[in-house]
Structure 1
Amino acid sequence: MTLEILTSDMLSGVRHGFFSRRGGASSGIFTGLNCGYGSSDQTEVVSINRGRVADAMEVDPDALVGVHQVHSPTVVTVDGPQTGDRPKADAIVTATPGLALSILTADCQPVLFADAQANVIGAAHAGWRGALDGVLEATLDAMEALGANRANTVAVIGPTISQRAYEVGPDFLDSFVAESPDNLRFFANGEGDRLQFDLPAFGLHRLRQAGIGQAEWTRHCTYSDPDRFYSYRRATHAKEADYGRLISAIKLLT
């Protein structure tokens, strides 16, 4: 099976892709394109999958760079292939051609950024904690430090968990309302005291509040489409031992 790569017209000035799970070498609960070394999948198989992504992005495997994601607002700037341990961060930016910035997700938001005029790109992993703590705004700040203009920057949120699949409790709501009562609008009533949280709408709100030029969500729900996407929450509900990680990547055109 060939790779399935979702793209956005808004990012037409750069090579990019939100890769689904299709076309990979993994098997069992990881069947497909599992790109997460942090999973219990076989390391050599994950390397094969990542090699296929590197080929699709037209870079060497060591130029497919990423970070050790920890649900933080931390951003790193890179100007060459990474060696050694990946830095602990949740976003990565560059103005260097030939590098493909990558982010892994399994329900959280993968967000790809580009200022095609300034030739600066970024990629962020924005779960609820990272988004609330400011990882999206921090990514824009780091891009501007490289010469980008946020008014000329576009951001696309890839496959992520949708509101209908994201059930949370009252304590979760309290964290958002404590930051701003206006955040109540991202929650809908569920059963009993449960609520449904709209993560991509919250991400788009934060991006627009930060002054980004354009932003959109691809409207793919990871939880609701098991044939195409991995989902941490779906795997948890199914009592599976582990779950695969989707990869999203972006590269400047040289």
Structure 2
Amino acid sequence: MKSDSKVLTALAPFPVVLPNWQHAPAAVRAFTTTRHGGFSNGPYGEAAGSAGLNLGDHVNDNPVAVKHNRDKLNLLLPSDVIFLSQVHGNIILDAADLAAGNIGDAVLSTQVGQVCAVLTADCLPVLFTDVSGKVVAAAHAGWRGLASGVLQNTVTAMRAKGAQEIIAWLGPAIGPQEFEVGRDVLDVFAAQVPDVQAYFEAKASQDGSEKYLADLYGLARKLLNDIGLSQVAGGDRCTVTEVAEFYSYRRDRVTGRMASLIWIAPN
């Protein structure tokens, strides 16, 4: 982001991860939360035992703590977040029409101050903006969402709203040395990624079944490149191994959720 991203970091009442994209317009704001700085305890808190910023209301955390966490987040934003009911699919919604409980895995906006957000804890959050700062979007992309075209659908929807040159940032997700999958996952991607073996590293298994380490970041970048996005930043964090920073479902099972958010700020 531009230099004003430093201001956002200074003002945030909790740590955030900022996109490292090079050509985002000045009017666009974006960040991903971490597990630090909230009111949740137990497995939803920080690794060191302090209260954490779990933003998921579907993971059996104390609902009062989750409300306090969301209120703390909303104080930093131009509009309160309306979170999607994510189902690992490919439905794209417009933030202007969004209501609580709407099913979808990506949301876009052309309106100033309308926040787009997704929740993750190993799945890949992808934030998008066009270089003019007129259209922004957030997508939730686990392997099922990637395979079903959630990123392609998001870009198509943005282009339908007038987006020209689109850039993307791959937020914190499970890293390529931690995402163990079976042959079924490789086969799903083989139909749409000709060089699919480049994103799956064979791994020995005790039961003799085919196991692979899948590169979720690499797959996402490949799929985005194939539809004309040459500027794809991020993809250098790991929610599983960075225990102190991120929630991870694969690592802990019972855990919280981070939010990745993007919006167009007033001039």
Q: Which of the numbers 65, 73, 77 marks the counterpart of 1:53?
A: 73
- Residue 225 of structure 1 deviates from its aligned partner by 1.1
Looking at structure 2, the residues matched to 247 and 219 of structure 1 have their Cα atoms a distance apart, in angstroms, of 17
Letter in 2 for 1:67: L
- Give the 3 Å change call, closer, same or farther, for CA 73–160 of structure 1 in structure 2: same
Confirm or deny that 1:145 pairs with 2:160. Answer: yes
Letter in 1 for 2:91: T
SS of 1:89's equivalent in the other structure is coil
Report Cα offsets for 1:199-247 as digits up to 9, x if no partner.
01101111111112411224110000111101110013xxxxx211111
Looking at structure 2, the residues matched to 231 and 181 of structure 1 have their Cα atoms a distance apart, in angstroms, of 30
Show structure 1 runs of 4+ deviating over 6 A.
none
- Residue 169 of structure 1 deviates from its aligned partner by 1.6
Looking at structure 2, the residues matched to 209 and 229 of structure 1 have their Cα atoms a distance apart, in angstroms, of 30
CA-based RMSD of the aligned residues comes to 1.7
SS of 2:75's equivalent in the other structure is helix
Show the counterpart of 1:162. Answer: 175
Task: Report if the CA contact (8 A) 2:40-2:66 is conserved.
Answer: yes
Q: How does 1:1-254 map to 2 (within 5 A)?
A: 2-10=13-21, 11=24, 13=26, 14-31=28-45, 32-56=52-76, 58-61=77-80, 64-79=81-96, 82-83=98-99, 85-149=100-164, 152-192=165-205, 193-236=210-253, 242-254=254-266
Point out the structure with the larger helix share: 1
Q: How does the TM-score come out when normalised to structure 1?
A: 0.90
Count of residues in Structure 1 that have an aligned counterpart in Structure 2: 242
Looking at structure 2, the residues matched to 118 and 145 of structure 1 have their Cα atoms a distance apart, in angstroms, of 15
SS of 2:197's equivalent in the other structure is helix
Task: Report if the CA contact (8 A) 2:95-2:115 is conserved.
Answer: no
Task: Report if the CA contact (8 A) 1:65-1:99 is conserved.
Answer: no
Q: How does the TM-score come out when normalised to structure 2?
A: 0.86
Letter in 1 for 2:121: A
- Residue 174 of structure 1 deviates from its aligned partner by 1.9
Structure 2 spans left out of the alignment, 5+ residues: 1-11, 46-51
